[in-house]
Amino acid sequence: MSVVHEANTQDDKFLLAIRELRLRNFSKDLPFLILSDKLPANQVYKEYADGHIEIQKVFTVGNSYQHKIIRVLTELMADKIRRKYDLI
């Protein structure tokens, strides 16, 4: 087996696991966290089962995590993010 084929297989397994986790979160009415190095520090994408994606700032207050919605993405931008991270 070639190294390239093995890497592709591992990448495919990783992507499949991510997609399954995403669907499991949605089935429990939980958001799916998308980390991106393209966002400023402490910001994340959160995708919800209804299809909308928010950019949120995450911070700690005492021992708990808090978040603040920075922006709700348009439907077009949400689709672009899902395609970028191979979530569809």
Give yes or no for residue 16 having a pLDDT over 70: yes
Residue 5 is predicted with a pLDDT of 47
- Our measurement of the distance from residue 58's CA atom to the centroid of its chain's CA atoms, rounded to an integer in Å, reads 14
Domains annotated for the chain, with CATH where assigned, are 3-84 (3.30.160)
Residue 31 is predicted with a pLDDT of 97
Instruction: Give the predicted TM-score (pTM) of the model.
Output: 0.82
pLDDT digits (tens, 9 = 90+) for 19-62: 999 999 999 999 999 999 999 999 999 999 999 999 999 999 99
Residue 1 is predicted with a pLDDT of 44
Residue 36 is predicted with a pLDDT of 95
Give the pLDDT band of residue 2 (cuts 50, 70, 90).
Answer: very low
Give the pLDDT band of residue 88 (cuts 50, 70, 90).
Answer: confident
Query: DSSP labels for 8-72?
Result: HHHHHHHHHHHHHHHHHHHHTT--EEE--TTSPTTEEEEE-TTS-EEEEEEEEETTEEEEEEEEE
Q: At 68, give phi and psi (nearest 5°).
A: -130, 130
